[in-house]
């Protein structure tokens, strides 16, 4: 489970950074020589800095939870299939070891070659399963990343946020933030509402 939590934190943090960086780029294009205006702008910018707890977002975002459950089921099935094939192979090896003394040289050679091919096949199955799972993971979490990023762009624009920071207790990049700047609940509620609406539209 720690692996999934770490992945979630990475995806959420990346989405938050992408969103706030875009907003920051837009802000940087505006300049003025008026020192009073600069001071006022700085003050306004400070007031528009907020943060999202990525641990909570990963825990409560329904779309992410669904993806995590689906990927965990795929991993479990792949592990079960490989374990079953591996146990069957071990039984064949044990059976050969019991009978080898009664077999002719040609029979032993044929059996050993067959077992070697099966062992190679198991290795390829393991590699293919790992590659397939990694591809599925990249695709699914890429979709989560997109959903979070697109929502945050709109949410930040609607509320006038200049910068959205991310906080994670497991990997803190922010050491302290006033809880009044925490918009995690708003973001989670908004993301879940969007996800619920998209699912309803598909039906």
Mean per-residue pLDDT, 186-193 = 94
- Provide the pLDDT for residue 46: 53
Q: Which of 34-38, 53-57, 76-80 has the lowest mean pLDDT?
A: 34-38
189 occurs within a structural domain: yes
- How far apart, in whole angstroms, are the C-alpha atoms of residue 144 and residue 195? 11
129 occurs within a structural domain: yes
Give helix 105-159 / helix 2-28 axis angle, nearest 10°. Answer: 40
- Provide the pLDDT for residue 27: 46
pLDDT at 6 over 90: no
Range of the domain at 142: 49-201
Q: Is 164 in a helix, a strand, or coil?
A: strand
- How far apart, in whole angstroms, are the C-alpha atoms of residue 134 and residue 128? 10
Q: Is 51 in a helix, a strand, or coil?
A: strand
pLDDT at 13 over 60: no
14 occurs within a structural domain: no
* Total domains, the chain: 1
15 occurs within a structural domain: no
Mean per-residue pLDDT, 54-75 = 94
196 occurs within a structural domain: yes
| Half-sphere exposure of residue 53: CA atoms within 13 angstroms, side-chain side | 17
Question: Quick one: CA dihedral 180, 181, 186, 192, positive or negative?
Answer: negative
Predicted confidence band at 47 (pLDDT cuts at 50, 70, 90)?
Answer: low
- How far apart, in whole angstroms, are the C-alpha atoms of residue 148 and residue 69? 18
Mean per-residue pLDDT, 194-198 = 91
30 occurs within a structural domain: no
119 occurs within a structural domain: yes
- How far apart, in whole angstroms, are the C-alpha atoms of residue 55 and residue 166? 9
- In tens, the pLDDT along 127-173 reads 999 999 999 999 999 999 999 999 999 999 999 998 888 888 877 77
What's the chain's average pLDDT?
82
pTM above 0.75, yes or no: no
């Amino acid at each position: 489970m720690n692996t999934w939590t770490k992945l979630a934190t990475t995806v959420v943090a990346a989405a938050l950074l992408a969103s706030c960086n875009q907003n920051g780029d837009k802000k940087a294009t505006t300049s003025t020589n008026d020192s009073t205006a600069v001071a006022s702008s700085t003050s306004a910018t400070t007031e528009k800095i907020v943060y999202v707890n990525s641990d909570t977002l990963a825990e409560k975002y329904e779309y992410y939870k669904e993806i995590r459950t689906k990927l965990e089921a795929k991993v479990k099935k792949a592990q079960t299939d490989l374990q079953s094939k591996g146990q069957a192979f071990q039984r064949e090896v044990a059976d050969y070891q019991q009978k080898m003394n009664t077999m002719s040289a040609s029979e032993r050679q044929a059996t050993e070659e067959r077992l070697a091919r099966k062992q190679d096949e198991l290795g390829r199955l393991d590699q293919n399963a790992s590659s397939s799972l990694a591809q599925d993971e990249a695709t699914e979490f890429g979709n989560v990343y997109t959903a979070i990023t697109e929502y945050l762009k709109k949410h930040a624009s609607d509320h006038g946020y200049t910068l959205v920071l991310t906080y994670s207790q497991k990997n803190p990049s922010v050491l302290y933030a006033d809880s009044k700047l925490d918009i995690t609940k708003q973001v989670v509620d908004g993301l879940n509402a969007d996800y619920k609406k998209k699912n309803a539209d598909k039906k």
